[in-house]
Amino acid sequence: MTLQSLDPFCTWLAATRISQTIQSVEWIIPAVQTLHILTVAAVVSSVLMIDLRLLGIGPRDQPIAAVARRFLPFIWWSLPILFLTGAVLIVAEPSRALENPVFVLKMGLLILAAGVTLACQIPLRMSDAFWDISASRRRTARLIALSSLPLWVGIIFAGRWIAYVQGT
């Protein structure tokens, strides 16, 4: 399946009344993009705070589990806002995103990043000390942090490149 096969769907969506409204009211797209980017700010900053703690960079007086508990809700509660604002932008200009290989890349990176976040979070449910218990656990925690950071940077970069790469 190629992205071009989405052509009829994109054409239909772009012709719907809701899409037409979003396109014609000038402030909607920049306002929704602003909300989208502010929510991205909440996610990546929360991710960075957890990752820095996993790497042992910065203050270490609070255990990993406490830092994770403080910031993980911001990551997960942001996702529905990101999907909603992202969906508005897609409805406004369907082929700009849906037929864009960079958008597909961004979604792939997002799935990986969510997986890495769960890999950090789920073991903490068994024990608050899970990532502190041995040298090998601490190494794995560092590895999780080091794989999480480039994924989120990639998501942000891909997000910006959607504007510059043409849909296929």
Contact stretch for other proteins (CB under 8 A) within 5-13, 33-41, 107-115, 136-144: 33-41
Residues 6+ apart with CB under 8 A from 166: 100
168 binds other proteins (CB under 8 A): no
24 belongs to the binding site for other proteins (CB under 8 A):
no
Shortest gap between Cβ of 13 and other proteins (angstroms)? 20
d(CA 161, CA 83): 18
Pick the binder of other proteins from 48, 55, 91, 107 (CB under 8 A). Answer: 48
- The beta strands (E) that lie in the chain are given as none
**Residue 52 found at the interface with other proteins (CB under 8 A):** yes
Indicate if the alpha-carbon torsion angle 19, 114, 105, 47 is positive or negative.
positive
How far apart are alpha carbons 120 and 148 in whole angstroms? 10
Point out which residues bind other proteins (CB under 8 A): 29-31, 33-34, 37-38, 40-46, 48-49, 52, 58-59, 61-62, 66, 70, 74, 153, 156-157, 159-161, 163-164
